[in-house]
Structure formats: structure tokens, C-alpha cells
Amino acid sequence: MRKSRADEFLEFASARSGHLFRSACLLTSGDIHLAEDLTQETLGRMYALWGRMARIGNPAAYAQTVLVRTFLSHQRRRSATERPIGELPDLAPLGDEDPALRVALLDALAGLAPKDRAVVVLRYWEDRSVEETADALHVSSAAIRTRSVRALAKLRRLLGGSIGELAAR
């Protein structure tokens, strides 16, 4: 029996929503409310395009691209700098990870410009190649390499020696 398009999309959304949410949390530097909004908006856009997914080929990668573009679009809005909460909320641990390390990394990611943050998340969290990242952000490969080097240097400055101390625990 052939699945309907809606059933196929529900299966896709169920399988990918957790991964999209985690990526959105990294992009938003731990703002789980905005991450939820970005994830829902991404899934809504994917549903609207679901009939044409056969031509796209890799819906999971395309969903990540839509997520990053949605995030960057949100950052360009004037209201994107409004933060309704005073401190970083606790994120549910994914395993035996150190919460202090997680908070330090999220704080450091928050210190990056939105496009730099998107490059770091796509390149190092999503493990995409330079070319895939460049394609997702509509820039040249050279621009991605330059942004990666600068963003990682800034992360090192922001984290200083604290990352070694936190990771050693």
C-alpha cells in the first residue's frame, strides 16, 4: 500500500525534528524558545515543498539549509535582538555531557555574528564540507573558509583557557 504524501512527511518530521531542534539551539546560542520556533517554521516550509522533494534528492540536508536560512532571516529582523528571558535556560542533557562546558560553548557561540555562527554549526556540528556549507549559505567556498578561520579564532579568544579546564573534567 502506497503512503500518502502527508504520511511520508509526518515520518520525515518525526525522524528529523530532534536533530533540527538541536541545530537550532546551537544557532540561537541556547534560546530554546526561538529554536522551537525556527524548527516549526522549517518544518512548515518543508511541508509546503514536500510534493517536490523527489527533485531535491536529500530532504534532510535541504531541511538543514532551510533552518539556517530561516535563522539568518530572523537575525536580519529588527526585533531579533529582543530577548524575553534574563538568563540562559537549562537545556536537557543529551548524555553524560558537562553542563558547564555546554553553557561555555553556547555563550561563546552567542558572541559570534549570525553568519559566522551558521558557518560553525554547519561545518563542525553538521559536519558539512566547505562546498556544501557554501551552497547552503549562497556564498563562495573561499568565503566559507575565511569565515571558518575567523569564527574559530574568535571562539578561541572568547573561550580562552576555560575550554581546556572544562573539557579536562
* pLDDT for res 39: 94
pLDDT of 48 higher than 80:
yes
Q: In the Cβ-directed half-sphere of 108, how many Cα atoms lie within 13 Å?
A: 21
* pLDDT for res 21: 94
* pLDDT for res 165: 60
Instruction: Report CA-CA distances (Å) from 146 to 129, 160, 167.
Output: 14, 21, 27
pLDDT of 84 higher than 70:
no
Q: What is the mean pLDDT of residues 106-127?
A: 87
* pLDDT for res 91: 56
- Cα separation, 62 vs 47, in Å, equals 12
* pLDDT for res 100: 76
More confidently predicted of 161 and 134: 134
| 69 exposure class (CB count in 10 Å sphere: 0-12, 13-18, 19+) | middle
